[in-house]
Structure 1
Amino acid sequence: MPDMDDDQLLAALELPAEERKAGAYSPLQERVIAGFEDIVRFAKENGRCPSHGEDRDIFERLYAVRLDRLREQAEFHDLLVPLDEFGLLSGGMDGDQAHEPEDDEALLAELEIEEQPDSITTLKHVRPHAEINAADEVARRTPCPDFDAFKPLFGRMRTDLEVGARRTRPFQRDAEIKQGDFFILGGQMAYVAEIGEEFRTDQDRRNARMRVVYDNGTESRGLMRSFQRALYKDEAGRRITEPEAGPLFDAGEDDPPELPSGDESGTIYVLRSRSRDPRIAANRAVLHKIGVTGNDLPKRLAGAERDPTFLLAGVEVMATYRLYQINRSKLERLVHRFFSAARLDLELKDRFGNPVRPQEWFLVPLPVIDEAVRRIEDRSIVDYKYDVESASLRPIGA
């Protein structure tokens, strides 16, 4: 470790000055003692020495860094040994020394400390205790009291991802976050429910307090920049894109839209449920199941009363359309994507009592489905989108 002068060492250790007997110690010794007393106090309260690791409290991690440096600074050992009741300087009370970031710059970023140009070992401008605690709240999740209001949003989002209406993208450093955005963080889907009044940090960066709800029924209330950093550091952190606005057929940014092609043929079928469930019966006239099959349709419908896919009830065939030279599975996925905004959001219990959420039922009038199929056949569908408010197909851009 390079030699440091007194000022650099004080900055590196960030030790608070305390009043002791005048003249007993130099200012440097006073601060080293005060800082070590914090470490000893932590060890006494927790029964172990402070440890590194992302799962640790940010002040514990600062104490761990401070202890590492004091262990290396042998010139202070004679001063501190009388206070070292747990043998911390010689490695006593070993904690779980989790792996810290590979370089100092990464560690400083995690600890919310600005790197100074003179030395990466000089830690300055440490933020106040309350602000650091607020920044760390992104990892502190509590039960969400009104999760029932958000649960349907996560259900629709999962469906959109399954049918390709939305995608996930790696989160870019300091990328924009807006209210209503969805992300994947730590393996959980996260919804930005609220963003408070924006303010500027000491480094003149945008920040705001947020409420983030997770699909496991928890929520966190922290700072936007903390959430951004957590997403960026998570190798699996992702942004969930907005719904594809209009074109039915998936294509690259520079590629023209294409119809799914192939040598298969299949039947698009439209069904209406005979269920007596009030939630279904009330919308029977516009509630339709849209599917694609390559098998005999009666065989496909056998046992509908026991199948949650058919709402555990008999069905009535409203229309069928035979298509050729087309990939059935891709066609079905794309049709579902086209009508995804009108997908039925309903949870049923199967015969074993397990909750299921049927995915192929849409609140779309039969004439609109008929028009959509005709536009698939003549390939004009790529110029249209389904408008929920008017329950009709509208030209893109209109």
Structure 2
Amino acid sequence: MPRYRSLDEVFQDEDPHGLLEIRTGAGRASAPADRNASAVARVNAFYEIHGRLPDENARDVEEMKLGAIWKSLGGQPSEAMRAADRNGLLGARTVFGREATPARSWRDDPPEEEVPASLEDVWEEDDEDLCEAATELRHVTPAAAREQPDHRAELYPCTDFATFEQGFRDMQAKLESGERTMSPIEDRQELPINEGDYLVHRGLLAYVAEKTELSRRGGKPDYRLRLIFSNGMESDPLMSSLRKALAADRTARKVDRARMGPLDPTWRADALEVGGTIYVARSKSDRPEIAEVRNILHKIGVTSQNVSRRVADARNDATFLLADVEIVATYELRNLSRQKVEDLLHRFFEPARPSQLTVTDRFGKRVHPREWFYVLPEHVGEAARLIQSGTLHLYRYDPTTQKIARKDE
């Protein structure tokens, strides 16, 4: 191998392997003019697809890179670049490499003249470009409809008002003589309401004749009341609804109960009226899960009013599964508390209570009625007789055999 004393001798020697040749193949970097022409061709291709120039602030990485290359082009365009510019995009630039009107980035702050000075300016902006889904509500219950309750407690004449009339007269006399006092109802007070209570509501004396049909709203127990007014009218509000109405009525009052005990000679005057009717109702609902067990699924309730009137509005009451019912059996009570009898019956038939029975009201809220059981009417009648004789505690209900049997058997 020859020894060289300088680089000139190296370059003067023959190059049989072509090591000193300058190639411009695919694997070597092209000249700047060729790269610029390639960039112009790519920008024209992007423009033909999207109808706009690439944005260097775009979220798409490829568009961002292409926009940055397009903006970085400087100097006068070469013939190769003009030949690649088939859409005349280079002529739209006042200074090559700079757009006549630079595109504003989403990262930039808006101009001061576009910032609204008040809410009125916001409301006055034209919203014609907004889609219909952004300006109109669909599949939403109107506010007026959402405020409508499932069951509205209306006032109607009390057909058995003669039963309560003397009680109103006696209470009015006690209030006038000072023997009984009244207390105002404070705001946000969870007023205890029981059967036998007297209230002053809407300027009238009202008597709580019945408290029944336990349900739960918002996790709290609620009851349906029978409220008799001194003018001969009655209503059946929920206890929670009555509390709200009393809180809104600034003239509302609670009549204080007399002291209880043997030292009070008048304590029996406020004793709870007892008696009523146990009724067994069968649903007429056309829901498949209810219709297929219609002959064994029954509602057990206790009321002091006419049973037909009690179930007249069943289709609007979630307690009745939002459907009409038919009364299949009734049993009269004698000298027994209606609420206690209803609680005893519900606890006695607890093993036969359907755990998955639910109904959805018209507001989409799921309600779990707790007064329906897989029992026959004769079972309820037998349990009522055992309550009347005071021996129900000796028996149990077996849902497997559908029989009432003694506990010691």
TM-score for both structures, normalised by structure 1 = 0.34
| Larger radius of gyration between Structure 1 and Structure 2 | 2
- Higher relative contact order (CA closer than 8 Å, sequence separation 6+): 1
